[in-house]
Amino acid sequence: MSGSRMRRAGRTRLASVTPPATRRAPRRDAQRNRERILTAAREVVAERGVGATMEDIAARAGVGVGSLYRMVPTKDELFAGILAEEAERMADAAQRALALPEGERAFLAWMAEAAEWGAANRAFINVLAARDASEPMPRLLSARLRALLRELVARGQADGDLRDDVAASDVLMVLLATARVSEGTVDTAKAYSRRFLALQLDALRPGGDPLPGRPLTDRELELTLDALALSRRAAPGGRA
C-alpha cells in the first residue's frame, strides 16, 4: 500500500473511532442546557405567572432566544417539561417516605414534605395558568406518582394515620388547599400554613363520620387543577 493510501486509511480508522466521544459531549451540553432552561422557566413562571415570556426565560437561563427555541420549539412544550419534572419531584418524595422503616409513619412524613414543596413552589399551578388553553389538557399525574400515592394512602391507613374512606385524590386536594393558604399568608402569617396542615391531617384521621359522595377520579382532579389555573389566568395581571 502506498504511503498516501496508508495515511488515508489511518484517517478513516481514526474517524470511525473518535466521533462517538465527540458526539457525547454535545449531548451532555444539550442536557445541561435543557436543565438550566427548565430551572429558569420554573423560576420565571413562579414569579410572573402567565406574563412569563420565552424571552424572559432565555435571559434567566443565560441562552439566546434562538437557542431556546431550537431546544424547545413552543412555550407549551417547555411548560410540559416543567409539569413532568414537578410530578417526578412529588413521586421522589413519596418513594423516600415509603422507604422509611415500619413505624416511621410514612404518610405523615410525605405530607409534611409535600406541603413544604407546595408552599415554596408556585410554578406548578402557574404553568397550568400560562399554558395555551386551546390545547388538550396535559396529564399531570404520572403512572409512577399515582401508584406511589396509592401505596402511601394504604400505608397511612395501616398505620392508623388515615381513615379508610380517603383516596389519593382527597389527599392531593388537601395539599392543594394547604398550598393556597400558604401562598395567601406568606406575607401576613408565614407559619400559619403548618397550623392549617395540622387541622387537615386531624380531619383525615380515623374516627369521624362517614364521608359523603365519592373521591375525585384522577382525570377529575386534573380538570379541577386546570379550572383553578383558569381562574388565575383570568385574574388581573394574569396572576393570583
**Residues 217 and 181 occupy one common structural domain:** yes
Say what the pLDDT of residue 175 is: 86
Compute the CA torsion angle 173, 126, 135, 219 (nearest 10 deg).
-10
pLDDT level of residue 234 (50, 70, 90 thresholds): low
Closest C-alpha to 44, from 68, 27, 66: 68
**End position of a domain, from candidates 47, 73, 99:** 73
- φ/ψ of 137, rounded to 5, equals -65, 125
How many structural domains compose the chain?
2
pLDDT level of residue 180 (50, 70, 90 thresholds): confident
**Over pLDDT 70: what percentage of the chain?**
75
Whether the pLDDT of residue 189 is over 50: the answer is yes
Q: What CATH number does residue 52 fall under?
A: 1.10.10.60
**Residues 47 and 119 occupy one common structural domain:** no
Q: Quick one: which H or E segment has residue 94?
A: helix 75-98
**Residues 62 and 42 occupy one common structural domain:** yes
Burial bucket for residue 210 (CB in 10 Å: 0-12, 13-18, 19+): exposed
Q: How far apart are CA 178 and CA 180, in angstroms?
A: 5
**End position of a domain, from candidates 54, 73, 92:** 73
Say what the pLDDT of residue 125 is: 65
Whether the model clears a pTM of 0.75, i.e. scores above it, the answer is no
pLDDT level of residue 171 (50, 70, 90 thresholds): very high
Q: Render pLDDT for 27-76 as a digit per residue (tens, 0 to 9).
A: 777 778 888 888 898 888 878 876 788 999 999 999 899 989 988 888 87
The secondary structure of 65-76 as a DSSP string is HHHHHHHS-SHH
